[in-house]
Chain A
Amino acid sequence: MSLLGLSQLRFLLRARWSTLSVLVGLTLGVAAVVAVHQIGSRINASLEMVGLPHLDGLTELLDRDGANLTDADYFALRARWRAGEYTDVRALVPMVEGQRVMAGRRALVVGVDWIAASSLPASGSGIDGRALIADGRLLVDGSFGLRAGESIEVGGASFQVEGVLDADLGGLVLADLGIAQTLLGLPPQALSQIGVRRSDPYARASELAERVLPGISAGFARRSSGWQPEGWRARSISAEQPSLGFARSVVFNVGALGLLVLVVAWFLIYQIAIIWHRRRRLLNDRLEAMGVSRIELTRGFVRAFFLLGLVASFAGLLGGVVLARGLGAMTTLAADAAGQWPPITGWLLLKAGVSGMGVGSLSAWMACRREWGSGSGAPTWILAGVLLAVAAAGVYFPVTGLFGGFAAVLALGMLVVAVVQPMLEALRASALRLRGRLLNRHALREVAWYPRDLSVAVGALSLAVATSMAVGLMVESFRTDFAQMLDQRLAHDLYVDGGGRDLADVHGWLLEQPSVDHVQPYGRARHRVGTVPIELGYSPLDEAEAARYGVRGGLGPGEALVSERLAGLLGADVGDRLALGGGLRIAGVFSGFGEAGYRVLVDESVAADLGIELVHDRLSVSLAADDQVAGADLDARLLAAFPGVEVEPRGRMRQVAMEIFDRTFAITSSLTLLALLVAAIGVHNSLVALRLNQQQGVHLLVMLGVTAGELARVAVRRALGIGSVAVALALPLGVLMAWLLCAVINPRAFGWTVDLHLALSDVAVPLALGIGAAVLAGLLPSPRDSAGEI
């Protein structure tokens, strides 16, 4: 090791406390990144299992835009492809699909030309459909409750179950093309669509990016490939499975919060690097006088932080794995995901390494540039202007997608960090106006006296407090809207779910019970509005039922209700017409928090007109108002009569829904608290540095007879001052970020808007936490060995 390197290493060992702070802060940052990666990967893995397996490996679906499609069309298309017209196409797979009732439940029957599909890359579901080519073989999903080798009777014919998919896909039957045509009663030449796999560099890059940053593909606005063969209509596969995009949005949001912890850790390390650099100034000056260049000094300094980053990367990797399991245990997010925790892959190692060593090295390099004045020197107002422009662009251009939304959040956060130093300098300029006891004035002025020592740590604390406030406000606003939705929807006393099975017999039994006043049946089918796949719900939509969705009066003929997510996608509103059947008028838009797909509700008569075979797999029951006691054991009797159904009373439904809601947001709350912890470490470190740098000043006060108690009070007041500056900046930032989360990020991620409710407690608690963190950091003693760090 060179003598310069040895000198750096000894400095790290001598400055034990700061070194430990860097390691802890950076380890927490890396751990957060690793944890959200693990959670995201697990959710992504589960998505592959619940995605429609026949769409694996495809990039587009082609149809004739409503016109009948036959195998002649397919052959014509294949001929043009083979003639070299579509050079980027890698595979064409003819398919037929439709719905029919099988084994008492509605099923999506899909027929695939498995020979053509064999050229597709191995899919996540691992299906080899060639086994289905033999006569009468089917592959069914878990919802049927069948086992491989069993038979299923359809229309007097018997079909053998070749295999069962693990996941419940809502009633999916996969078969060879001919068998599916038979099941659906279609002529042998009929097709529904052609699956296409194209070589798409964007899709490949997106797949690669997903491995490094799970959920990142949800960050971009929906992108159309623009590929449209003449005479055909192309639909992207991602649009076919909106639930995948929904879940990836969840992963992206969690990932963004994980990155926030890393950003706060970055500020902490940057601040320490500045302090270290300043402490080494005399030494560096001497070394420069001896002929050592600044490049060499910078290299040595960066190398020291790189070394710390290396240690933090490993520690963070281990910590992140543990953290992921902890967070997974407290939330439904990971608990719902099937399978095991993903292994530690090379991608994850790379990510942890880049996070730890990259952030450490970058911080050191930035500190060198700042302290030696070789930075760009851009005035704060230019930086502020750029950050504001980034935030504005992210908000006003929807094409920037979730990335734009989070870029706006981050830009505003950076803006706050950037203005801390000028703000402290401005406060210092008005320090003379401070009144009160002189020791108090001294304590408060110290906050503004050393802006370069404190500004980054104060900014990081502001950012952490603002994020905590914003997430709290968003979650509570969301909770309020969600509770209102539940109160509106849960209008009945008892809910019966047949898990896809037709509940006609249960319906009849319920109507015979004297305690039952009314039974409302519900059914659902897959359908499309234009090219958008939807879940079409149907029920007798009378006045009472429509009221559950906030619509007065029943639905008239030719009317429909649409979910907010679908309305947002289509840009439609009440009064517009839906491309469904003969064109249904939108009578209302209902909020559908938690719905991963798009939903349309119609009266049963409309569903029947659309050619849908009516199956009711859910019922809601209203008990007679004067017979609630007799109805109390109705659920028990119902379960005894029909063991396969699920029955939940209203109160339990609401309770479960709210519990799921709260658990869903446990990760976000935990990550914001982690950011706050890292910020508190940063503030403490800055205060220790401040105390060390001002030791002579403290000595002077001791000589003047200031007691230890008075010095402690000075420390508390100074910390209170720091906390106050941090929360003063965090307050507007937090409210602005909350608005961004509610009005920009939620609509872009999930298609719903949340009304921002400014609850005092959600504002006050993070502010108090911020001040508390600063005071705690101020009260914590400086470790004894830190005296040697001067």
Chain B
Amino acid sequence: MNPVLSVAGLAKRYVDGSAERVVLAEVSLEVGPGEILAVCGPSGSGKSTLLSIVAGLVLPDAGLIELTTPEGTLRIDGLSDAARADVRRRQLGYVFQFFNLVPTLTVRENVLLPLELTGRGHLRAAALQRLADLGMDDRLDDFPENLSGGERQRTAIARALAHEPVLVLADEPTGNLDGGNANLVTDLLWREVRAQGAALLLATHNEAVAARADHVLRLGAGAV
């Protein structure tokens, strides 16, 4: 089975004046459909940078990033800004620790936003059904400010999967939740990603969460 995401020899450094800081060095990984890869490491180890590079928000200094989609395999690091934005729009889903939802859109509207952006209106019923499965069917017309942390993350999971992306990126999705809610959100994320057959690249410093992943990539000072 071909991997959904294939990263090889990735490197990234930042230059601040005369000082140079290596964030990522020789990072390679693969994630297949329905697989969950947890990227672990302390603060500053380069987890978020890795996710940003995979998302095409930051370009690497070296390395190769390939994404296999139903339309073919794309080298993300070789695409233009507009093409990378299109990849994010159509092929990727996101769950973050904070600022997961657009504050001026309701729960329903937040989940339907990726469908509108990708023109995949036919997935509307399935997206709303997923919201109901996540226990959010009575909060559809609420705005994010009226939701609890757990409810926001459940909505974010529904939003991340609404347009059926091939890869979901999650950056500390349980970092802002208490233990009970963190477990619940993790369960839901795992369940939905696997049900959809998407790949999940998860950045976390929570060993308990990482332990539930199919594979774990440990980063320390930018290196595996």
Contacts and interface: CB of A to CB of B under 8 A. Distances in A.
Given A432-B141, A706-B85, A706-B117, A438 B112 contact: yes
B103 A439 contact: no
B88 interface: yes
Interface residues of A, number: 22
Interface stretch (A333-341, A442-450, A453-461, A740-748): A442-450
A437 B109 CA distance: 10
12 contacts: A437-B116, A441-B109, A700-B99, A701-B102, A702-B57, A703-B88, A703-B94, A704-B113, A704-B117, A705-B92, A705-B118, A706-B89
B104 A446 contact: yes
A697 interface: yes
Contacts of A432: 106, 141
Is the interface on chain B under 10, 10 to 19, 20 to 34, or 35 or more residues? 20 to 34
A446 B82 CA distance: 26
A680 B2 CA distance: 56
Given A438-B113, A445-B104, A700-B99, 9 more contacts: A431-B104, A439-B116, A442-B102, A449-B104, A702-B57, A703-B55, A704-B94, A704-B113, A704-B114
Q: Quick one: which of A438, A445, A696 has the most chain B CB within 10 A?
A: A438
B116 A707 contact: no
Interface of A: 431-432, 437-439, 441-442, 445-446, 449, 696-697, 699-708
Given A704-B88, A707-B82, A438 B103 contact: no
B105 interface: yes
Nearest to B87: A705
A556 B74 CA distance: 100
Nearest to A718: B104
Contacts of A708: 81
Q: Quick one: which of A441, A445, A446, A705 has the most chain B CB within 10 A?
A: A705
B90 interface: yes
Sorted nearest first, the 5 A-B pairs with minimum C-beta distance are: A705-B89, A445-B104, A705-B88, A696-B99, A442-B104
Nearest to B98: A696
Contacts of A439: 113, 116
Given A432-B141, A438-B105, A441-B105, A707 B85 contact: yes
B85 A700 contact: no
A441 B104 contact: yes
Contacts of A442: 102, 104-105
A700 B82 CA distance: 16
Contacts of B114: 704
B180 to A, nearest CB: 26
A707 B90 CA distance: 13
A401 B105 CA distance: 52
B86 interface: yes
B100 interface: yes
A355 B125 CA distance: 61
Contacts of A701: 102
B112 A699 contact: no
B76 to A, nearest CB: 13
A701 B96 CA distance: 13
Given A705-B86, A705-B89, A705-B117, A700 B57 contact: no
Contacts of A703: 55, 57, 88, 94
B90 A705 contact: yes
A446 B143 CA distance: 13
A705 B117 CA distance: 8
Q: Quick one: which of A437, A696, A700 has the most chain B CB within 10 A?
A: A700
Interface string B155-197: 0000000000000000000000000000000000000000000
A36 to B, nearest CB: 43
A438 B109 contact: yes
A705 B85 contact: yes
A699 B99 contact: yes
A424 B117 CA distance: 28
A659 B100 CA distance: 62
A706 B90 CA distance: 11
Nearest to B102: A442
